[in-house]
Amino acid sequence: MKVDTNGPAQKPQEHVLLFLYNGSLPNGDRGRRKSRFALYKRSKANGVKPSTVHILNTPQASKAVNCKVQHSISYTLSRNQTVVVEYCHDKDTDMFQIGRSTESPIDFVVTDTVSGGQEGEETPITQSTISRFACRVVCERVLPYTARIYAAGFDSSKNIFLGEKAAKWKNPDGHMDGLTTNGVLVMHPRGGFTEESKPGVWREISVCGDVYTLRETRSAQTRGKLVECESNVLQDGSLVDLCGATLLWRTADGLFHTPTQKHLEALRQEINAARPQCPVGLNTLAFPSMQRSRALSSLEDKQPWVYLACGHVHGYHNWGHRSEQEPNAQRECPMCRTVGPYVPLWLGCEPAFYVDVGAPTHAFVPCGHVCSEKSAKYWAEIPLPHGTHAFHAACPFCATQLSLTQGYAKLIFQGPID
């Protein structure tokens, strides 16, 4: 899963970025489009840092803009004035770029997250709100491998252009800065990424890496207030939102404490070994393999289903409908007569989304993805950006918006009666 355009990895994995998906993209991981992106120390540093500043009558007058080996950022102040900041090589850092573009400067190609998207479904995005060159992450090449995030990425000509209508300004120390159209938002959880963590505050990151409060609207031309006490250093559990996709940042140290795929598989087998039964049909239920759980498309005979309003787990049955149009939206539980959604259960397969190693006892509402109680509570409290102005909690395994009244449900299994 490494991305290293300069050669093979020389160091073990240092950081990981993850889409909010259940272990793979809905249509499968392909090349630079994948649900998990591991950052390694490159064989040769490719980081850059600001150097010379030019004030020009036209941006075309700059050699830096026209030179394909020279990185630069252009700030267009008016038709008659452009500030161009040249960037020079930084031997102490590695740079990784993220965006919607499939051009070679992008290491991690990001696609719009479709809430509840299923395997094989082609859900068209009429107009993506993710920038082609959305952001860049710069990692130090020595311990502790500090990683910093910046809005905007360099294009194929090694340039970043902030047009006349983009939010931009000159700071008191004289250096230029700006924001991208829909912005790059970051949220650092309070207490790291652990079972004791709490949601942090969403901030916006500028092109030069400063931290600001959110704008009035996502694309407003007036920036928020500078937050001087915070930095653009990514922490274990930091969330990065690109207005159309949200990414989770995990460090190597943080991942050391998360469950492994083998651990999740052992928990699945432990549940199945207890031979849970449908309390009505009395047939034995079993969670499908982790690979099948990722697919979300093929229901099996032994698939557990749940009445989300009460948590009673059943096998599939075809009665109790309250609506002809949406047969599973309102069903009456035969155990307790509670009426609510009736959905299949799927195990959450991406270990990096778990805040502990607890048993999978709770399901997100309304999608039915199953994880540990503390993980369910954590994600149910996180307000994720939605569209250009809204925030809501979502399932980390499929990005489905969680119910406002009940974000998750405790599962009630019936054991074998023999």
- Which residues are paired to 401 by β-bridges? 394
Beta-carbon count within 10 A of 371 CB: 30
Q: Phi then psi for 228, rounded to 5 degrees?
A: -70, -25
Q: Is the peptide bond before 144 cis (omega within 30 degrees of 0)?
A: yes
SS3 269: helix
**The dihedral formed by the CA atoms of 41, 43, 44 and 49, expressed in degrees to the nearest 10:** -10
- CA-to-CA distance for 223 and 383, rounded, in angstroms? 21
Contact 26, 121 (CB under 8 A): yes
| 3-state helix/strand/coil string of 226-249 | ECCCCCCECCCCCEEECCCCEEEE
Q: Could you list the pLDDT tens digit for every one of the 418 residues in the chain?
A: 233 333 333 344 568 877 777 766 666 667 777 778 889 999 999 999 999 888 887 655 555 556 667 899 999 888 888 899 999 999 999 999 999 999 999 999 998 877 665 443 444 555 788 999 999 999 999 999 999 999 999 999 999 999 888 899 999 988 999 999 999 999 999 988 998 999 999 999 999 999 999 999 888 889 999 999 999 999 999 999 999 899 999 998 898 888 999 999 999 999 999 999 998 888 899 998 866 555 555 567 789 999 999 999 999 988 766 666 566 678 889 999 999 999 999 999 899 999 999 999 999 999 999 999 999 999 999 999 987 778 999 999 999 999 999 999 999 998 765 5
Beta-carbon count within 10 A of 29 CB: 16
Contact 296, 22 (CB under 8 A): yes
Strands 246-251, 305-307: pairing kind: unpaired
pTM beyond 0.75: the answer is yes
